[in-house]
Amino acid sequence: MATATDPQLERLRATVRELGSTLVCYSGGIDSALVLAVAHEVLGPGAVGMTAVSPSLAPFEKEAAVSIARQIGARHELVDSHEIERPGYVANAPDRCFHCKSELYEIAEQKKREWRLAHVLNGTNLDDLGDHRPGLDAAKNANVRSVLVECDFHKEDVRRCARLLGLTIWDKPASACLSSRLPYGTEVTRERLAQIGGLEAELRGLGLRQVRVRWHQLGGAASDRALARVEVAREELARAFEARDAIVEAGKRFGFAYVTLDLQGYRTGSHNEVIVGKSLRVV
């Protein structure tokens, strides 16, 4: 990795250096990758990246996490996570992320002690504080440090510093676990997560970069018939429309009854729109 000087990056280095040793909850996304890169740079073997592997982690994200950690040169550990066994997670209420992150941070605390490390860090940045993020409460309960927040990093700062350090994923699109594709109140199951992850992989194979497959149940609570509402970045809408036949064909292969393209395009947390009284259905 390249070395670089930047006042904000120097502040992050100094903050992490003071910790002595740390476990970084590392998803393979750009935020936690930057934290891991800086931790490895200033703490060497005292920094360990931990990736939780479960049905909610898309296979390509797992592969990317391994590849990026190898580029950084940091020690990287894959651990099994079992949030799918937590009733609060499966129920998929608006606090689902709290249950998922609670599982993650309990595992991190156990591994921190096993690996004789002093602190647990995550990749939360200032922009994450403005959305509906119950996982932040789980981090607070577990005394997890959000060093990017402490050092006043917004997303654009993360990308700038990652680019300075030579991280090839500095412009990687935002990502989230597959369970975020299910509307609140729709149970999280292994089968639904695999269906979503499989179709998203197919769409990326068509050349689409920013993709979300939102899963909508059809026919009542007991039904597994579903509609796939596909979100892509606005600048990719034309390409997606041109590939509509292939997208529909892929959706059918993965068991979706209908496949639609969301004309609003990708936006973070679109299922959260329902929380504030909005609806995706015209009544």
Q: Which residues pair with 145 in a beta bridge?
A: 121
pLDDT of residue 103: 97
Where along the chain do the CATH 3.40.50.620 domains lie? 7-164
Q: Considering the domain 179-274 in this protein, what is its CATH number?
A: 3.30.300
Q: Could you tell me which residues come within 8 angstroms of residue 148 by beta carbon, excluding any fewer than 6 positions away?
A: 12, 31, 34, 35, 123, 124, 125, 126, 158
**Phi and psi angles of residue 135, each rounded to the nearest 5 degrees, phi first:** -60, -25
Please say whether the dihedral angle defined by the alpha carbons of residues 224, 192, 275 and 85, taken in this order, is positive or negative.
positive
Q: How far is CA 26 from the centre of its chain?
A: 10
pLDDT of residue 270: 60
The DSSP code for 188 is P
Where along the chain do the CATH 3.30.300 domains lie? 179-274
Fold of 7-164: Rossmann fold (3.40.50)
pTM as predicted = 0.88
Q: Could you tell me which residues come within 8 angstroms of residue 214 by beta carbon, excluding any fewer than 6 positions away?
A: 181, 183, 228, 229, 230, 231, 262, 270, 271
DSSP string, 171-182: TPPP---GGGGS
CA separation for the pair 137, 111 (Å, rounded):
21
pLDDT of residue 1: 56
| pLDDT by residue, tens only, the chain of 283 residues | 556 678 999 999 999 999 999 999 999 999 999 999 999 999 999 999 999 999 999 999 999 999 999 999 999 999 999 999 999 999 999 999 999 999 999 999 999 999 999 999 999 999 998 766 788 899 999 999 999 999 999 999 999 999 999 999 999 988 889 999 999 999 999 999 999 999 999 999 999 999 999 999 998 766 779 999 999 999 999 999 999 999 999 999 999 999 999 999 998 766 566 555 443 433 2
